[in-house]
Structure formats: C-alpha cells, structure tokens
C-alpha cells in the first residue's frame, strides 16, 4: 500500500508571507516507497545497471507502482546516505591487505564521464566514482599503505604504484 501526502502552500495577499501546510502527524516526509521497494530498486540498479526511466516503467508494470524518475532519484539519495559510512569502514581493511586488486572503467554520471574504481582484496571490495583516472585516487583510498602484491592493468596510474610485486591482468 502506498500513501502519498501532498503538501499545499499559499501566499497571503495581505501580509505577503508564504506558508506550506505541515505533514500530518504520523506521516514523515520522504519517499512513499518502503524498504522492500528500496532494496529491489537498489539491487536492480547496482547489479543490472537499469536506468531510472526503465526502473520507473518496471515498477509500474510489475508492482503497479506509479513512480517518476525523480522519485527514483530521491529513493537512491535516501539509500545512499545509509551506505556512505560503509566505505569508511572498508578502507582500513583494504589498507591492511598484502594483496590488492584494482581496476577502473568509464561511467557516465549526470552526463559527464567519470571513472568507476574498484579496489579489492580477499575480504572486501570498494567501489568509488571519481572524475579522474589518475594516481591521486589510489592515494586517496589507500593513503600511505603499499600492498606486497599489486594486481592491475597497465594504465599509467598503476605503473606509479610502488608495490614489491606487480601482477598484470
């Protein structure tokens, strides 16, 4: 069941002030989508790279949930806030690793090319989006840590990494 609350506002012709009606008690502002829709949308977007437009259509066809692309974007903003701290928890585990595998690929973000970086060891995997493919991203994520074995491609940023051994993939 989806309950949508619409808030109406007005402008007083007498005093010139604007006001918006408050959200009813028990109806917190935010997305009308519950946890199950958030999990499904996040899974479909992250594992299958389904666009916002296709997700909105899919929810309409499969779940009979009329949701706009903007609402999908808002849903992901709310979900993102719950994951931000996880990246900070993963970094120390990467920084203790003797073996580090990494790669990057192009990604389109808001119509611009960015780089989707993946750094992983045998325990964890960290994905970060950055506008650069340069060595600074490695420094940002790993700090001064230098794994014993570095597994990567032959990009110039990787060639600058001073690991004891280097495995080319």
> For residue 28, what pLDDT is reported?
64
3 state SS of 120: strand
Give me the percent of the chain exceeding a pLDDT of 70: 91
Nearest CA-CA partner of 76 in 110, 104, 107:
110
Contact 129, 115 (CB under 8 A): yes
Task: Report pLDDT digits (tens) over 71-85.
Answer: 888 888 888 888 888
Average pLDDT over the chain, rounded to an integer: 84
> For residue 61, what pLDDT is reported?
92
CATH number of the domain located at residue range(s) 95-168 in this protein: 3.30.420.10
Task: Report pLDDT digits (tens) over 90-136.
Answer: 999 999 999 988 888 888 777 888 888 899 999 999 988 899 888 88
Task: Report pLDDT digits (tens) over 29-49.
Answer: 666 677 888 889 989 988 887
Rounded mean pLDDT, 150-165: 74
Map out the domains of the chain as residue ranges. 9-84, 95-168
Cα–Cα distance, 95 to 109 (Å, whole number)? 28
Nearest CA-CA partner of 128 in 105, 111, 162:
105
Higher pLDDT, 158 or 48: 48
Nearest CA-CA partner of 46 in 75, 67, 70:
75
Enter the pTM of the model: 0.61
Contact 99, 106 (CB under 8 A): no
> Using 50, 70 and 90 to split pLDDT, how confident is the model at 157?
low
Contact 157, 143 (CB under 8 A): no
């Amino acid at each position: 069941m989806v309950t949508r609350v619409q808030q109406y506002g007005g402008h007083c012709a007498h005093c010139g002030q604007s006001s918006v009606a408050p959200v009813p008690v028990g109806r917190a502002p935010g997305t009308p989508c519950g946890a199950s829709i958030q999990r499904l949308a996040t899974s479909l977007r992250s594992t299958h790279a389904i666009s916002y437009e296709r997700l909105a259509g899919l929810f309409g066809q499969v779940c009979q949930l009329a949701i706009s692309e903007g609402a999908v974007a808002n849903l992901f903003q709310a979900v993102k806030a719950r994951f931000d701290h996880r990246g900070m928890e993963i970094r120390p585990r990467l920084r203790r690793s003797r073996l580090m595998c990494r790669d990057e690929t192009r990604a389109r973000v808001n119509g611009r090319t960015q780089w989707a970086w993946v750094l992983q060891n045998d325990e964890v995997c960290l994905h970060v989006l950055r506008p650069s493919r340069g060595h600074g991203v490695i420094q940002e994520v790993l700090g001064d840590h230098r794994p014993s074995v570095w597994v990567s491609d032959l990009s110039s940023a990787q060639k600058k990494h001073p690991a004891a051994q280097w495995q080319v993939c």
